[in-house]
Amino acid sequence: MAISQRQIQKMQQTLSPQQIQMIKLLELPAMMLEQRVKQEIEENIVLEEDERKDDEQEQTISVDDYIREDDTPSYKSRINNFSKDDKQRPVNITEGRSLQEYLTEQLGYRNLSERESHIAQFLIGSIDEDGYLRRDLESISDDIAFSLGIEASTAELENILSIIHQLEPAGIGARNLQECLLLQMAQRRMESPSRRLAHKIIASHFEEFVKKHYEKLISRLGVSEDEFRDAIDEIKHLSPKPGNLYSEGGMDTTPYIIPDFQLDYHDGQFDLSLNSYNIPEVKINRRYMDMIRDMVAADGTISESNKEAVQFVKSKIDSAKWFISAIKQRHDTLMRTMQEILSFQQEYFRDGDKSKLRPMILKDIADRTGLDVSTISRVVNSKYVQTHFGIILLKSLFSEAMQTESGEAVSSYEIKNILQQCIDEEDKRHPLTDETLMNILNSKGYCIARRTVAKYREMLDIPVARLRKQI
């Protein structure tokens, strides 16, 4: 094929740097925005945290001309309802020993050689936060050879792992749920018939027990329902996650929710505000403005030696102005969106009754605000509002509409509540199937298919009827 050149004219929409920055800031929740602002202050030399008093008048800077302006820009992103003496004080959290440290300390009371101690500590380090050893021993043997230079067979690892199995909490270091439950039962006295039966069920009939084939197990074991029920109660006292039994050590990864909005309700009136207490207020440092003025001659010319420095400072000021503008636009967009959500779900926000939630999709709020659906999606994603009845995830307020026989539109939350109520009140010996639940909902006037019932049941973390069965 011959190589040729041709000119094509086409239109292509591109986002400006400010639009890109705005989109990224819009997606950030309050905690991440605080980190993002601090990061920008560190990266941009002309930005600094504004620590002026609240009664100081705000001053602005022109977009077109930096040099002839008399002051620096600032942006007040929150209303300060706190005293000037009300300073944020760090809370020092003291953590105890971790689970691995606790297990290592117990190893010190065992008569282990130096080689065995190193291998045992490596195995302990491979135990996850639930208390399980998820990796196979062959892979661990290879890692020990590579990291410690110790050639250890799987048989040797089994022997050392059996020592770890004797440590507390009971069940630690198990490789699966069955082994975990057996290890816990091994540390309990088998003094009652129910415990002995429970051990037999876990050791020899674990698959049937997990699938809740209770009638089959009762027939196979030749026991009565009462005896079988007592054995099941013994198993219920065991922990499927032995790592959770140890609670002395603190968890650095414990998630803390910082609400993005604060909604107060007093005397029939709503008071909505954006939570930006920890977010620094930023402004452009005046010294860099003065630096540019000093480099510019009276006739407006700039010497060759100063031209590069002026261009650098101006680019940083541009970036700072874009960032300040993006924060302001984020503030306006979030408040505008939340105001419309509040207006749409006003009955729900009065008392937090989920049955009063109206069907609401992203397009409903997009039409009310005049914003794009993608913008509304970014606003509600990972954002929380603090109300007088708790902290609510904004995304949870959106639900699809379902039609009743009368043609009335109801929220899917209402159907989920009825579904939850039906399952809570069912006979656990004969739990309701998805088809039965569909018939119940249809009889109440809700036109819903069986697959939709299954979808809502899974959203409520409710297992199928077979796994809800009890004796």
pLDDT digits (tens, 9 = 90+) for 167-182: 988 899 999 999 999 9
Q: How do residues 98-135 score in pLDDT, each as one tens digit? A: 888 889 889 888 888 999 999 999 999 999 888 899 98
Confidence band of 13 (pLDDT split at 50, 70, 90) = low
Residue 258 is classified by DSSP as: -
Q: What backbone torsions phi and psi does residue 233 show, to the nearest 5 degrees?
A: -65, -35
Q: For 385-414, what is the mean pLDDT?
A: 79
Q: For 411-421, what is the mean pLDDT?
A: 81
What percentage of the chain exceeds 90 in pLDDT? 19
The strand pairing partners of 399, in sequence order, are 360
User: In the predicted model, is pLDDT for residue 52 greater than 70?
Assistant: no
Asked if residue 288 lies in contact with residue 313, where contact means CB atoms within 8 angstroms, the answer is yes
Worst-scoring range by mean pLDDT, 176-185, 365-374, 400-409, 434-443? 400-409
Q: How do residues 232-290 score in pLDDT, each as one tens digit? A: 989 988 988 888 777 655 444 445 778 889 999 888 889 999 887 677 788 888 888 77
Is 0.75 topped by the overall pTM?
no
Specify the pLDDT at position 342: 92
Q: Cα(202)–Cα(180) distance, rounded to whole angstroms? A: 10
User: In the predicted model, is pLDDT for residue 426 greater than 80?
Assistant: yes
Asked if residue 416 lies in contact with residue 456, where contact means CB atoms within 8 angstroms, the answer is yes
Worst-scoring range by mean pLDDT, 217-226, 250-259, 332-341? 250-259
How far the first Cα of the chain sits from its last, in Å, is: 77
Q: Cα(415)–Cα(413) distance, rounded to whole angstroms? A: 5
User: In the predicted model, is pLDDT for residue 139 greater than 70?
Assistant: yes
Q: Cα(426)–Cα(457) distance, rounded to whole angstroms? A: 14
Q: Which domains does the chain have, with CATH numbers?
A: 16-79+255-398 (no CATH), 99-245 (no CATH), 401-468 (1.10.10.60)
203: helix, strand or coil: helix
Residues in the chain: 471
- DSSP track, 279-320: SPPEEE-HHHHHHHHHHB-TTS-B-HHHHHHHHHHHHHHHHH
What percentage of the chain exceeds 70 in pLDDT? 84
